[in-house]
Amino acid sequence: MNIWFATNNGHKKEELQAILNTSLKIPSQEGYAFNPEETGDTFCENALIKARELHKLLGNNEPVIADDSGLNVDALGGRPGVLSARYGMENGQKLTSDQQNILLLDELGDSPLRSARFVCSMVLFYSNDRFFVIQETLEGEIVKKSEMRGDGGFGYDPVFLIPQFGRTLAELSVEEKNFLSHRGKAGKIIANLLKNNG
């Protein structure tokens, strides 16, 4: 039985395969044109939109996994949140991760409130009637502008401090990150659900 992941990004597939310890298929590598419109107001809605869309495209009962994630910064009222990937986007032009990180640090400025959390909503979808949603978090703090650091990970990882480690997410190894992270925690539960409730 195939297990599908609702993304076109081969890098994301590799990452989730490592977390789930299972082989995944993605539509772009199997000849499917998959371009869901992520119009949801929440991570959960967007993950369900992607899962439903791929389920419909496949037209069978093979399990589909989908996820949506982002960064909620308390001092910004939860922004960039569900718009994390599009943060700072103007005229349809996306910023690079570096540009987004600088923008975020500038917007936060010297605010003493630095708390933030990564959120990942991951869906295991069998049909419109039967599916599971696991939404997990990773709590941390946004560093000061002078303290952005680390070469690992991607996106907002270099500005996200894990206080008990004294390191940013970009300074952790892949194994450390997958153990601690919002996506790692959600994936671990999804792997169990896949195994025990398929």
Q: Per-residue DSSP letters for 21-79?
A: TS--B-GGGGT---------SSHHHHHHHHHHHHHHHHTS---EEEEEEEEEEGGGTT-
Longest dimension (CA), the chain: 52
Q: Which of 41, 67, 68, 110 is catalytic?
A: 68
The count of residues interacting with its own copies (CB under 8 A) is 18
Residue span 156-195 as binding mask against its own copies, x where in contact by CB under 8 A, dash where not: ---------------------------------x---x--
Q: From the CB of 115, what's the least distance to its own copies, in Å?
A: 12
Using the minimum distance from each CB to its own copies, give the nearer residue, 13 or 182: 182
Q: From the CB of 121, what's the least distance to its own copies, in Å?
A: 9
Tokens standing for residue 131: 């599916």
Q: From the CB of 119, what's the least distance to its own copies, in Å?
A: 5
Q: How many CA atoms lie within 13 A of 157 on its CB side?
A: 18
Q: From the CB of 132, what's the least distance to its own copies, in Å?
A: 5
44 binds its own copies (CB under 8 A): yes
Q: Per-residue DSSP letters for 67-117?
A: EEEEEEEGGGTT-BGGGGGGTT-BTTBPPPHHHHHHHHHHHHTT-S--EEE
Using the minimum distance from each CB to its own copies, give the nearer residue, 172 or 190: 190
40 binds its own copies (CB under 8 A): no
Annotated active-site residue 68? The verdict is yes
